[in-house]
Amino acid sequence: MSALEIVLVIAGLALISLLTRSFFLLPDRELPLPDWVGRALRYAPLAALVAIVVPDVLLTQGRLLQTVADARLLGAVAAASYYFWRRGILGTIVVGMLVFMPLRIGLGW
pTM of the model: 0.63
Same domain for 75 and 96?
yes
Question: Is 80 exceeded by the pLDDT of residue 1?
Answer: yes
Cβ atoms of residues 56 and 42 within 8 Å: no
In angstroms, rounded to a whole number, what is the distance separating the alpha carbons of residues 16 and 19? 5
Count of C-beta atoms within a 10 Å radius of residue 53? 13
Minimal CA–CA distance to 53: which of 93, 109, 107? Answer: 93
Identify which has the larger pLDDT, 24 or 68: 68
> CB within 8 A of 109, min separation 6: which ones?
69, 70, 71, 103
Same domain for 73 and 59?
no
Same domain for 87 and 55?
no
Tens digit of each residue's pLDDT (9 = 90 or more) over 35-90: 999 899 999 998 998 999 999 999 988 899 888 889 999 999 999 999 999 999 99
Residue 5 structural domain? 1-32
Per-residue confidence (pLDDT) for residue 64, from 0 to 100: 93
In angstroms, rounded to a whole number, what is the distance separating the alpha carbons of residues 21 and 18? 5
